[in-house]
Amino acid sequence: MKAVILAGGEATRLRPLTCNIPKIMAPVLNRPFFEHLIGYLKKHNIVDIILTIGKPPDQIQSYFGDGSDFGVKMVYLVESFPLGTAGAVKNAERFLDDPFLVFNGDIFTKIDLSSMISLHGQRKASVSIALTPVDDPAAYGVVETDSQGRVKRFVEKPKRDEVTTNMINAGIYILEPDILGYIPPDAFSMFERDVFPLLLQRGEAIYAYPSKAYWIDIGTPEKYLKLHHDLLNCCLPDKGMEFEGKSSVHSSAQIEGPAIIGEGCFIDRNSMIKGPAALGARCRIEEGAIVEGAILWQDCKVSKGARVKNCTIASHCCMGEKSEILDHCILGDDVVIGKGNKLSKGIKIWPNKSIEPEAISF
């Protein structure tokens, strides 16, 4: 089965982390997010991948190429203008002769695709939609089904007193190729709003595949950080540590996992790393500095006595001496925080900004 991966969005919610890279290239445990997705698809014997994107694929292609180094075959489709979820799939129609998978490119999940594919065939469904439970379905589009799992109704962002289910659209579909005939060519079209309701009106067999498996949309910095914490706590239990190569760690430094340390890092005397935390390659943690619950991309410097906690720091950033970056703050690439500055409460700093010493305290 082929998979169409939808990655044509602008990733505005994840900025400033995505100002310089596509969302699917954002590092997760020091590897591009898309590499994790490829590994997940391969586990379910899906190795034919069509990637729909909104900008030239240079950064993605330079890393993944034709996919052969990762055990898959990749085709890149660039949209000249936004086509929406359904329009992007319609644009790939010439590659789609058999039932195929559609996957939103900002989802990390452990939903059992093999089981979903099998059930799709057994039901002779035209469309199968993966569903996942959420605490507040009023913020999403909920999907109502009958006792056999057949979809009865789609309700976009219902009022809380109108909620009949907590199962929402998980952004994973299996479609029969004739469904593409319902989608107009070269036009913006959304599955959720334009196509699926029309299919219900026409009597097409749309079935749900509910799952309580892990699922998260990394579209916001908060969810991006949560994914790291979840994976570190899961993959490195019992406060484990993983060094990806040689690094220099002073004997007096304290590292309390779960933590992943990229190659070529320098961790100085009396410094502390407290997990869940991830350091990209060549990060420098100087004397007395503290990194706690934070995600640092590559080539970052946490200067003497500085502290970063529960925040995300993009590449080539420098935290000055005795500065503090706390409470879900986000720093884009090449940001310099001067000595003594204190940032908290989710402050976002765009790339290439320099904050003078002791200039701000939020």
Domain boundaries, the chain: 2-219, 222-355
Whether 161 has a pLDDT exceeding 90, the answer reads no
> 90 is written with which tokens?
């319609």
Of 93, 50, 78, 88, give the one whose Cα is nearest residue 187.
88
Q: Which tops the pLDDT comparison, 154 or 132?
A: 132
> 124 is written with which tokens?
């002779």
Host H or E run for residue 279: strand 277-279
- The pLDDT value recorded for residue 240 is 85
- The pLDDT value recorded for residue 332 is 96
State the CATH class of domain 222-355.
mainly beta
What is the maximum span of the chain, computed from C-alpha positions, in angstroms?
69
CB 46 within 8 A of CB 113: yes
d(C-alpha 160, C-alpha 149), whole Å: 23
> 198 is written with which tokens?
């029309």
* pTM of the model as a whole: 0.93
Whether 214 has a pLDDT exceeding 80, the answer reads yes
Beta-strand relationship, 290-292 and 312-313: unpaired
Superfamily per CATH, domain 2-219: Spore Coat Polysaccharide Biosynthesis Protein SpsA; Chain A (3.90.550.10)
Confidence category of residue 361, pLDDT binned at 50, 70, 90: confident
CB 19 within 8 A of CB 333: yes
Of 293, 310, 308, give the one whose Cα is nearest residue 233.
293
d(C-alpha 11, C-alpha 23), whole Å: 6
DSSP character at residue 150: B
